[in-house]
Amino acid sequence: MKPPHPPGAPTQKCRAPRAALPPLGLTLPAEGGAVFRVWAPNADAVSVIGAFNDWQADRHPLVRADDGTWFGTVPEAKRGDEYRYQLRRGPEEFKRADPRAAKVTNSMGNSIVWRPDPEAAGPAFTPPTLDQLVVYELHIGTFNAQKGRGPGDFSSAIKKLPYLRDLGINAVEVMPVVEFAGDFSWGYNPAHPYAVESIYGGPEGLQAFVKAAHEHGIAVILDVVYNHFGPGDLALWQFDGWNEHGLGGIYFYNDWRAETPWGQTRPDYGREEVRAYIHDNALMWLRDYRVDGLRWDMSVFIRTYRGRHGDPGDDLKEGWGLLQRINGSIREEFPRAMTIAEDLQDSEWLVKESGAGGAGFHTQWDAAFVHPVRATLIVAEDEQRNLDAVVNALKTRYEGDAFRRVVYTESHDEVANGKARLPSEIAPEAFDSYAAKKRSLLGAALVLTAPGVPMLFQGQEFLENEWFRDEIPLDWSKLQRFSGLHAFHRDLIALRRNLAGHTAGLSGQHLETHHVDHLAKIVGYRRWREGGAGDEVLVLINLSAQTVTDYAVGVPTGGTWRVRLNSDARAYDAEFGDHAGTDCLAQAEPLDGCGQRIRVSLGAYSAVIFSQDHAAP
């Protein structure tokens, strides 16, 4: 049931027609002062109080409009002033932070008169297309923090952007940065959905981060949380005093539909004012902060009540419509921006366009890759490694498009909440053991050579073994200790992005798993974009502890196949065996459905990537 308008709502002397209303939230006219407008349909009176009027409610009462919003101008207000709304409903009076405030003092504090200037986020930036993306997920609070000195911030993260650029990263996916309760958090507990976390540097800090990232050629994808709000320090809770069953009031469902895994705080997607609140929030990050994309946290709890994908009785059609509406607006206004779903139900309907009935996301995190690949790498006995699972993970695609999925072996979810980093899963007692290092690199090789958008999690490139916690900084001392493994990731990313011009196929649509040897535990697959020398790529993955020599694999064309990367090279680690370090001349003997073959050596738990030079013009 939607909250009724209170029968005793006072009649104001002035009621503005809807067309004349100012935008919701705070606006700062060029002539000075501030204009306030807030939605509070069940309030009997609303005033804005703040530093500009000594926090006196009788100084600036707001006028009620026919749509349940209240508005007014405060000529004395200036940028930087703190303020709140004071509301009265019946005999009750209470104060609330502005639901659309872009800046707050802290999660329990006041709103601040401030509006973002998009120019502060730098000039327009053209992000890479999905087929060129290499994504790095990071958490501002731990990415470049100093142990014992509180969380990191945007300024500390900016200092590491040259490092990411040199690694080859061209997009960062930033875990949520909206204001949350306390100083330490993953970010998935948004207390003020429009405000940027004050401990991270506030909205100015985010704009500076985006500008600096763009200057280094790095796109910024921001995590957003719309499947629930809060639950702590939640200014939206019972905002205008109305609720049912002791639940959240006007911004939330007030019955069983409010229940989520994170509390009874699911927004009411069926109410137009709430839909507009979330829609405007999503567009704000692109308009005002010039981020290049949004990654939606657990969209399955927006489109279903209980996460029962495939159960028609659990469908939340109002939520599905909201996904379509926001993705449609983004595609229209920001055609180069990307939206990513963390849905993890492997449904191609997430990435179908809304006109075809889909949700309209550009791509989605792919559970069909991460889970079988991690399981294959973690299992202790080679005989138990499931090559079919790896092949299926490589082949999965949605809507027939390789780039409608994001592939990874580590993310914030995969390395926390009882799960460990991949090297620690492989060898719990010795994350830096030979097997842990070797098989972790196999995971990276699969991620960066598989069809899809590849993603790394912070520190994965230098064997970080600490499971993710919001109060434990990334251990940058491992970068020096495992500099060779870092170099491997840098070289692999360069191949994925075709920086040397002879591995274009790794960013192509096409894949053929033409060589699957269950006995030797070796998988070979071809990747190509258009085909031919300098495009076609051969990837060989040895999932066994056994070194093989003089091993035959089919190739599509004759000539020399050059080793572009060998994960067994001692340059990456002194313990490695340096097998498969030579180029191979194809022989005209059919194999694996190909007209030619090469004979190679493969080190234990190793990946080798081959391609051919471009023909001379």
For residues 135 and 130, what is the distance between their CA atoms, to the nearest angstrom? 10
Does 173 share its domain with 80? no
pLDDT (tens digit per residue) in 92-117: 999 999 999 999 999 999 999 999 99
Partnered with residue 562 across adjacent β-strands are: 611
Does 230 share its domain with 85? no
Does 286 share its domain with 141? yes
Query: What does the block give as tokens for 490?
Result: 């840098």
For residues 181 and 184, what is the distance between their CA atoms, to the nearest angstrom? 8
Contact 547, 602 (CB under 8 A): yes
Chain mean pLDDT for the chain? 95
Q: What is the per-residue pLDDT for 616? A: 60
Helix (H) or strand (E) holding 560: strand 560-566
Contact 350, 391 (CB under 8 A): no
Asked whether the predicted pLDDT for residue 17 surpasses 80, the reply is no
Query: What does the block give as tokens for 238?
Result: 């019972």
Give how many domains the chain has, as a whole number: 3
Partnered with residue 339 across adjacent β-strands are: 294
Alpha-carbon distance values, 163 to 216, 369, 490, 525 (Å):
10, 28, 11, 31
Q: What is the per-residue pLDDT for 11? A: 32
Nearest to 446 by CA among 521, 391, 397, 402: 391
Q: What is the per-residue pLDDT for 147? A: 86
For residues 460 and 440, what is the distance between their CA atoms, to the nearest angstrom? 9
Helix (H) or strand (E) holding 112: strand 111-112
Does 157 share its domain with 266? yes
Query: What does the block give as tokens for 480?
Result: 């020096």
Query: What does the block give as tokens for 532?
Result: 């031919």
Does 138 share its domain with 244? yes
Which amino acid type is present at position 548?
A: V
Contact 454, 407 (CB under 8 A): yes
DSSP 54-77: TT-TTTSBPEEPTTSEEEEEETT-
Does 140 share its domain with 86? no
Find all residues with CB under 8 Å of 480, minimum gap 6, and list them: none
Asked whether the predicted pLDDT for residue 572 surpasses 50, the reply is yes
Q: Once rounded to an integer, what is the mean pLDDT over residues 576-582? A: 85
Does 151 share its domain with 298? yes
Find all residues with CB under 8 Å of 236, minimum gap 6, and list them: 99, 193, 229, 230, 248, 249, 251, 252
Judge whether 70 lies within some domain.
yes
Query: What does the block give as tokens for 415?
Result: 């390395």
Q: Once rounded to an integer, what is the mean pLDDT over residues 140-147? A: 95
Phi, psi of 495 (to 5 degrees): -65, -45
For residues 521 and 561, what is the distance between their CA atoms, to the nearest angstrom? 22
Alpha-carbon distance values, 88 to 42, 91, 239, 242, 281 (Å):
9, 7, 11, 11, 27
Asked whether the predicted pLDDT for residue 8 surpasses 60, the reply is no
Judge whether 121 lies within some domain.
no
Does 180 share its domain with 323? yes
pLDDT (tens digit per residue) in 376-434: 999 999 999 999 999 999 999 999 999 999 999 999 999 998 899 999 999 999 999 99
Judge whether 426 lies within some domain.
no
pLDDT (tens digit per residue) in 280-332: 999 999 999 999 999 999 999 999 999 999 899 999 999 999 999 999 999 99
Judge whether 410 lies within some domain.
no
Judge whether 575 lies within some domain.
yes
Q: What is the per-residue pLDDT for 475? A: 97
pLDDT (tens digit per residue) in 225-266: 999 999 999 999 999 999 999 999 999 999 999 999 999 999
Contact 214, 225 (CB under 8 A): no
Does 139 share its domain with 89? no
Judge whether 240 lies within some domain.
yes
Pick the last residue of a domain from 96, 122, 150: 96
For residues 212 and 209, what is the distance between their CA atoms, to the nearest angstrom? 5
Which domain CATH number covers 57? 2.60.40.10
Window from 261-270, 460-469, 570-579, 580-589 with minimum mean pLDDT: 580-589
Contact 5, 68 (CB under 8 A): yes
- Residue percentage of the chain with pLDDT more than 90: 94
Alpha-carbon distance values, 19 to 22, 66, 230, 284, 483 (Å):
9, 11, 33, 22, 61
Nearest to 460 by CA among 479, 477, 433: 479
For residues 325 and 279, what is the distance between their CA atoms, to the nearest angstrom? 8
Its domain, for residue 55, covers 18-96
Nearest to 76 by CA among 45, 36, 111: 36
Judge whether 536 lies within some domain.
yes
Does 151 share its domain with 70? no
Question: Where residue 617 falls among pLDDT bands split at 50, 70, 90?
Answer: low
Residue found under tokens 């507009």: 276
For residues 458 and 410, what is the distance between their CA atoms, to the nearest angstrom? 9
Pick the last residue of a domain from 344, 365, 386: 365
Phi, psi of 166 (to 5 degrees): -70, -30
Length of the chain: 617
Judge whether 430 lies within some domain.
no
Which domain CATH number covers 525? 2.60.40.1180
Pick the last residue of a domain from 322, 346, 365: 365
Q: What burial class does residue 352 get, using C-beta atoms within 10 Å of its C-beta: 0-12 exposed, 13-18 middle, 19+ buried?
A: middle
DSSP type of residue 380: S
DSSP 579-611: -S-S-EE-BS--BTTBSEEEEEEE-TT-EEEEE
pLDDT (tens digit per residue) in 165-195: 999 999 999 999 999 999 999 999 999 999 9
Contact 340, 293 (CB under 8 A): yes
Q: What is the per-residue pLDDT for 524? A: 98
Does 137 share its domain with 251? yes
DSSP 301-344: HHHBSSS-TT-GGGB-HHHHHHHHHHHHHHHHH-TT-EEEE---
For residues 291 and 118, what is the distance between their CA atoms, to the nearest angstrom? 10
Cβ atoms within 10 Å, residue 177: 28
Contact 386, 380 (CB under 8 A): no
Q: Once rounded to an integer, what is the mean pLDDT over residues 513-532? A: 97
Does 211 share its domain with 332? yes
Q: What is the per-residue pLDDT for 15? A: 45
For residues 350 and 348, what is the distance between their CA atoms, to the nearest angstrom? 5
Which domain CATH number covers 230? 3.20.20.80
For residues 224 and 530, what is the distance between their CA atoms, to the nearest angstrom? 36
Helix (H) or strand (E) holding 140: helix 140-143
